[in-house]
Amino acid sequence: ACDGADTTFTFSFGIDTTADLQVILITAATGAESTLTLTTDYTVTSANANDPQDFTAGGTVTLTAAPSAAYEILLRRNTAKTQTANIDDEEVEEGLDKLTRISQDLSEWLGRSLYLPKSETGTSMQLAPVATRASKYLGFDANGAPVYVAGTNIDPDHYQAIFDNRDYANLAAAITAIGATVGELHIWDAETLTANAVFPATLGVVIHKGGSIIKASTYTLTISGPFDAGLYQVFSGFTTVTLSQVKQVYPQWFGATGDGTTNDTAAITVAITAALASESGHLNGLTTYSHPCVYFPKGVYSCETALTADVAGTVIFIDIRSEGAILVAGSGITLFGGVAGHVKISGLQFHGGATAISIKTNNTDASTIEIAGNYFLNQTASAIKSDTVSNSTKLSIHHNTMVNYQAASHVLDLLSSDYVEFCDNWVEPQSTTVFVLNNGNAVFERNTCVPLGEITRWFQCNGGLRISRCGFSGENTVHSFVDFNSPASVLHVSDSSVFTSGTEGYGIKFYALPQSLTWERNTGTYGFAGLFWFDPSISVAEVTAFLDRNNNDIRIDHPDVVYAGADSNGVAMAVALEGRRSHWERPFDLLSPTDLVATFGGFWDATNSTATPAATTDTYGNSTYRWTATADNQRVEILWNTTLASCVTGVWYTMIETIVVDSNQPLQVVLYAGAASKSFNLPRGAYNLCMPFRFASNQRTGIAVEKMPDTATMYYGAGYVVRGVHYSTTYPIRWYATAAPATLAHTIGEECINSDPDAGEPSKWLCTAAGTPGTWLPTNPIQSANAYTTTNVTATRALDANGGDIAVVSDVLATLIEDLKTAGVLKAP
Tell me, what's the pLDDT at 95? Answer: 72
Pairing mode, strands 367-372 and 343-346: parallel
For residues 231-251, give the mean pLDDT. 94
Strand arrangement of the beta sheet that strand 478-484 belongs to: 334-339, 355-359, 382-386, 410-414, 433-437, 455-461, 478-484, 506-510, 530-534
Output b/e per residue, 395-420; b: 16+ Cβ within 10 A.
bbbbebebbbebeebbbbbbbbbbbb
Three-class SS of 706-723:
EEECCCCEEEECCCEEEE
Tell me, what's the pLDDT at 460? Answer: 95
Tell me, what's the pLDDT at 96? Answer: 77
CATH 2.60.120-classified regions of the chain:
595-726+783-823
Prediction pTM value: 0.56
Tally Cβ neighbours within 10 Å of residue 238: 19
**Are the CB atoms for 469 and 496 separated by under 8 Å?**
yes
- H/E stretch holding 267 reads helix 265-277
Q: Check the CA dihedral 769-770-771-772 and report its sign.
A: positive
Q: Check the CA dihedral 249-254-257-263 and report its sign.
A: negative
- H/E stretch holding 302 reads strand 300-303
Task: Tell me the H-state helices in 657-725.
Answer: none
Query: Is 80 exceeded by the pLDDT of residue 193?
Result: yes
List Cα–Cα distances, 508 to 6, 427, 501, 512, 547, in angstroms: 100, 20, 12, 11, 17
Pairing mode, strands 300-303 and 71-77: unpaired
Lowest mean pLDDT among 540-544, 684-688, 694-698: 694-698
Q: What is the mean pLDDT of the chain?
A: 78
Query: Is 50 exceeded by the pLDDT of residue 621?
Result: no
Query: Is 50 exceeded by the pLDDT of residue 645?
Result: no
Q: What one-character-per-residue DSSP string does 372-396 give?
A: ES-EEE--SSEEEEE-TT--SEEEE
**Are the CB atoms for 443 and 422 separated by under 8 Å?**
yes
Query: Is 90 exceeded by the pLDDT of residue 816?
Result: no
CATH class of this structure's domain 595-726+783-823: mainly beta
- H/E stretch holding 327 reads strand 326-329
Lowest mean pLDDT among 237-251, 324-338, 741-755: 741-755
**Are the CB atoms for 24 and 37 separated by under 8 Å?**
no
For residues 663-672, give the mean pLDDT. 89
**What is the tens place of the pLDDT at every residue in 50-106?**
998 989 899 999 999 999 999 999 998 888 877 777 776 777 777 777 777 777 777
Rounded CA gap, 46 and 53, in Å? 7
**What is the tens place of the pLDDT at every residue in 295-318?**
999 999 999 999 999 999 888 889
DSSP bridge pairs for 207: 187, 229
- Cα pseudo-dihedral 765, 768, 769, 773, rounded to 10: 0
Lowest mean pLDDT among 253-262, 407-416, 536-545: 536-545
**What is the tens place of the pLDDT at every residue in 764-783?**
888 888 888 889 888 766 54
Tell me, what's the pLDDT at 565? Answer: 47
- In a 13 Å sphere around the CA of 218, the CA atoms on its Cβ side amount to 0
pLDDT band at 491 (very low <50, low <70, confident <90, very high): very high
Spatial CA neighbour of 294 closest among 258, 344, 257, 255: 344
- Cα pseudo-dihedral 435, 437, 442, 443, rounded to 10: 10
Strand ranges in 362-486 using DSSP code E only, listed in sequence order: 367-372, 375-377, 382-386, 393-398, 401-403, 410-414, 419-423, 426-428, 433-437, 441-445, 448-449, 455-461, 464-468, 471-472, 478-484
